[in-house]
């Protein structure tokens, strides 16, 4: 419960848009506890809260207040600009812990459950020269006949610029999974900045 609170569970995210707090209910039994710790039960999480989790790890364990816009223009001229000094909300984990999580998340993209989304059939990265750190998730709702896939991550892993969260809900006829959507988001972001991919 303490760790969940450090990552923002139980309180709305300070944001320009009203949002529901991510919830965490920790059960007593060891199996139920393990499932909850893995994110499979007794929790709720919005994409906004998920990207906040990714950003916290990217910022070496420091939770920052998210912003909704970088600047506001009037007649093509900026009337408000984000000052590039994000508001620190709290330290969630030690920098060493965030570094170890980053290493594990990088492994997920390089060799784990997100590998096929971020590499072509020959094994070449869709984002050459950019190390992506990410975490996947898969849940099913048999009653509603829905299949949920998640991806939360950031890039470049060594010097993060952007955090992403993708949630895709499919019926039994698959269209796209969240890691693929996150890959496309990252490719678009880096292409706009003139980077390969």
DSSP letter string, 102-165: HHHHHHHHHHSTTHHHHB-TTS-BSSTT---EEEEEEEEETTTTEEEEEEEEEESSSS--EEEE
The distance of Cα 153 from the centroid of its chain, to the nearest Å, equals 4
Q: Round to whole Å and give the CA distance between 152 and 164.
A: 6
Q: Could you give the CA distance from residue 50 to residue 57 in angstroms, rounded to a whole number?
A: 11
What's phi and psi for 49, nearest 5 deg? Answer: -65, -35
pLDDT digits (tens, 9 = 90+) for 7-41: 999 999 988 788 999 999 999 889 988 888 877 68
Chain CA centroid to CA 65, Å: 15
**163 vs 73, which has greater pLDDT?**
163
Handedness of CA 59, 64, 68, 72 (dihedral sign): negative
Question: Can you give the pLDDT at residue 120?
Answer: 96
Peptide bond preceding 156: is omega within 30 degrees of 0, i.e. cis?
A: yes
The tokens for 2 are: 């303490």
pLDDT on residue 142: 83
- Determine the pLDDT at residue 173: 79
Q: Give residue-wise pLDDT tens across range 74-114.
A: 898 888 777 777 889 999 999 999 999 999 999 999 999 99
């Amino acid at each position: 419960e303490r760790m969940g609170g450090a990552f923002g569970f139980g309180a709305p995210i300070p944001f320009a848009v009203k949002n529901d707090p991510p919830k965490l209910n920790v059960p007593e039994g060891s199996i139920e506890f393990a499932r909850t710790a893995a994110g499979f039960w007794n929790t709720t999480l919005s994409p906004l809260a998920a990207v906040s989790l990714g950003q916290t790890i990217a910022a070496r364990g420091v939770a920052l207040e998210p912003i909704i816009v970088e600047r506001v223009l009037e007649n093509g001229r900026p009337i408000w600009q984000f000052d590039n000094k994000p508001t620190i909300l709290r330290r969630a984990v030690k920098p060493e812990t965030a570094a170890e999580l980053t290493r594990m998340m990088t492994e997920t993209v390089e060799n784990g459950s997100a590998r096929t989304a971020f590499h072509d059939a020959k094994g070449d990265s869709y984002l050459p020269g950019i190390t992506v750190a990410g975490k996947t998730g898969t849940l099913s709702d048999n009653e509603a006949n829905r299949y949920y896939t998640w991806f939360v991550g950031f890039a470049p892993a060594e010097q993060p610029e952007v955090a992403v969260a993708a949630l895709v809900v499919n019926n039994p006829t698959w269209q796209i999974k969240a890691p693929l959507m996150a890959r496309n988001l990252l490719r678009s972001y880096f292409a706009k900045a003139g980077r390969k991919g």
